[in-house]
């Protein structure tokens, strides 16, 4: 895909403007991308509106069949999608391939779920027959991030369209290709033209125009808290419901009775997967002082054993998404307090790409920038605690509250901390960035509001209508 068009109403569309798509592995140009604007967004919303009523009128079983057919088409094109994703994001091929499989799972899961998604009968008064219906909101707009383009496409599109909505997707500036290809494949799978539309472009132009469009009935956004605030303000102006999945500074809380043999691989993967560019990355290590030295030594050895290179070589760690992101990570690490245990720089021999070495900083001040702000790179900030109350205070001591992990064999402690720690998902003796398709996902505080994934996402893309009939 040397040029990325918009895909609106079942057809490729251009507007004459374009920008370069950069390979983060070496800085080369992968091709050009249509630079969507307000006019192109308006065309996509108009197309989605024209298709919505007919799509909503289709039987749930018909929508379910198309969803499962789409999942099959995605799996049949796994290698093509994997290649595009790896080139755009820099992530290793195996990670991109796993993303394609999860993407297909979104459409399988929601295709099966919709046939058992019903309203309620409310037997309140014998004189009335009262029931509720779940009805689609209409046309949805989704602005997705660059770290997991395929997974985020599935997370937004699958629950939206299965409930009878149509959608306009604005992929991230840096990673537009899989979204456009997936919209093309959707038509192959049987989705009517106009149900799934994609407009690439710059966030401040196409993304802002989509969020502010008066014809949008639901706004979804995954990205930074700063941009999320702007999206929410635009949605509020039009009284449009929004679901925001924003930043995170998720902690691993490790007690002395934890099995460190289990802790080490989960902590390592939790911060190094996708080069740490994950909103739910386990970027803070809160470890009891009795086992801090042992755990730090084990993690240092694990981090220094990581292989690094271009995504096409399928090593452990690829580049960051851009030179701009690399510079941001470098600046935050250089300005950090504490002790640099390992990493902290561009790996030797990889100067041409946007690479950064796996990094551990110990003895971090809990109020410092590196402990409070999202780095979005392979950087682990470690702090020590001496008792349960101090651990909870550290865990809840940032503006974010997306995920957390508790490492202990004390069952009572597990339940105490699961209640006390503020996070949308709490893992115990395990960690999975964002969890499975089936698990509701979202945060508190500046990590956003609303929930994606699982059955709760079906509620987010529908509204309850109550029907009261006097008998």
* Structure tokens belonging to residue 278: 């994950």
pLDDT of residue 109: 95
Give me the CATH number covering residue 306.
3.40.309.10
**Are 371 and 402 part of one and the same domain?**
yes
Both 427 and 281 in a single domain? yes
Q: Are strands 339-342 and 359-362 parallel, antiparallel or unpaired?
A: antiparallel
Residue 340 lies in a domain: yes
CATH number, residue 62: 3.40.605.10
- Let me know: does 461 contact 432? Beta carbons within 8 Å: no
pLDDT at 434: 55
Does the residue 231 lie in any domain? Answer: yes
Q: Quickly list DSSP for 158-198.
A: HHHHHTT-EEEEE--TT--HHHHHHHHHHHHHTPPTTSEEE
pLDDT score recorded for residue 1: 72
336 lies in the same domain as 418: yes
Examine the domain organization and report whether 148 and 265 are in the same domain: no
Query: In this structure, are 365 and 277 located in the same domain?
Result: yes
CA distance 191 to 184: 10
Count of the separate structural domains present in the chain: 2
Rounded Cα–Cα distance for residues 448 and 442 (Å): 7
- Three-state DSSP state, 14: coil
CA distance linking residue 24 with residue 327, whole number of Å: 13
Are 284 and 349 found together in one domain? yes
Domain range for 27: 3-246+447-470
Mean pLDDT, consecutive 10-residue stretches, the chain (471 aa), reads 91 92 90 94 96 95 96 96 93 93 95 89 89 94 94 96 97 94 96 96 92 95 90 94 93 97 95 90 96 96 94 92 92 93 92 92 95 94 96 96 95 95 94 80 92 91 93 93
**What pLDDT is attached to residue 433?**
65
pLDDT given at position 85: 94
Give me the phi and psi of 385, to 5 degrees please.
-135, 165
Pair (430, 454) in one structural domain: no
Nearest to residue 141, comparing CAs of 281, 36, 64? 36
Whole-angstrom distance, CA of residue 85 vs CA of residue 179: 10
Is the domain of 92 the same as that of 226? yes
Is residue 364 located within the same domain as residue 231?
Answer: no
pTM metric for this prediction: 0.90
- Rounded Cα–Cα distance for residues 372 and 398 (Å): 6
The length of the chain is 471
Asked if 150 and 228 touch (Cβ cutoff 8 Å), the reply is no
Does some domain include residue 442?
Answer: no
Does some domain include residue 175?
A: yes
Indicate if 376 and 332 belong to the same structural domain: yes
Render 309-356 in DSSP notation, one character per residue: --GGGT-SB---S-HHHHHHHHHHHHT--SEEEE--SPPTT-TTTT--
User: Same domain, yes or no, for 318 and 422?
Assistant: yes
Residues labelled catalytic: 245
My answer on whether 328 and 408 are in the same domain is: yes
């Amino acid at each position: 895909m040397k040029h990325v068009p918009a895909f609106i109403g079942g057809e490729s569309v251009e507007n004459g403007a374009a920008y370069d798509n950069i390979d983060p592995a070496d800085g080369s140009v992968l091709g050009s991308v249509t630079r969507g604007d307000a006019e192109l967004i308006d065309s996509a919303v108009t197309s989605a509106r024209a298709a919505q009523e007919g799509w909503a009128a289709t039987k749930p079983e018909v929508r379910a069949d198309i969803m499962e057919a789409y999942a099959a088409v995605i799996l049949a094109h796994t290698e093509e999608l994997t290649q595009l994703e790896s080139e755009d994001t820099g992530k290793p091929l195996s990670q991109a391939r796993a993303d394609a499989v999860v993407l297909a799972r979104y459409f399988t899961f929601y295709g099966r779920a919709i046939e058992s998604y019903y309203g309620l009968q409310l037997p309140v008064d014998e004189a009335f027959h009262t029931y509720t219906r779940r009805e689609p909101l209409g046309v949805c707009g989704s602005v997705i991030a660059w770290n997991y383009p395929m997974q985020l496409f599935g997370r937004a599109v699958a629950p939206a369209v299965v409930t009878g909505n149509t959608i306009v997707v604005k992929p991230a500036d840096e990673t537009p290709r899989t979204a456009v290809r997936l919209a093309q494949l959707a038509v192959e799978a049987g989705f009517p033209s106009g149900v799934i539309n994609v407009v690439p472009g710059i966030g401040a132009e196409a993304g802002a125009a989509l969020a502010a469009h008066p014809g949008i009935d639901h706004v979804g956004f995954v990205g930074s808290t700063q941009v999320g605030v702007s999206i929410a303000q635009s949605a509020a102006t039009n009284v449009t419901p929004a679901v925001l999945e924003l930043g995170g500074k998720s902690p691993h809380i490790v007690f002395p009775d934890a099995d460190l043999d289990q802790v080490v691989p989960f902590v390592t993967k939790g911060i190094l997967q996708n080069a740490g560019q994950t909103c739910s990355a386990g970027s803070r290590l809160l470890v009891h002082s009795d086992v801090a030295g042992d755990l730090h030594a084990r993690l240092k050895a694990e981090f220094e054993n990581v292989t690094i290179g271009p995504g096409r070589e399928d090593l452990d760690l690829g580049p960051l998404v851009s030179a701009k992101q690399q510079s941001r990570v470098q600046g935050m690490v250089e300005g950090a307090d504490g002790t640099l245990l390992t990493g902290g720089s561009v790996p030797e021999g990889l100067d041409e790409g946007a690479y950064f070495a796996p990094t551990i900083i110990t003895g971090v001040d809990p109020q410092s920038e590196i402990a409070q702000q999202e780095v979005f790179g392979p950087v682990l900030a470690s702090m020590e605690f001496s008792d349960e109350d101090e651990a909870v205070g550290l865990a809840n001591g940032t503006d974010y509250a997306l995920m957390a992990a508790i490492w202990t064999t004390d069952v009572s402690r597990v339940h105490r901390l699961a209640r006390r720690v503020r996070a949308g998902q709490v893992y115990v003796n395990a960690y999975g960035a964002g969890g499975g398709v089936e698990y509701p996902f979202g945060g508190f505080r500046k990590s956003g509001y609303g929930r994606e994934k699982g059955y709760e996402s079906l509620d987010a893309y529908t509204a309850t209508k109550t029907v009261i009939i006097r008998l």
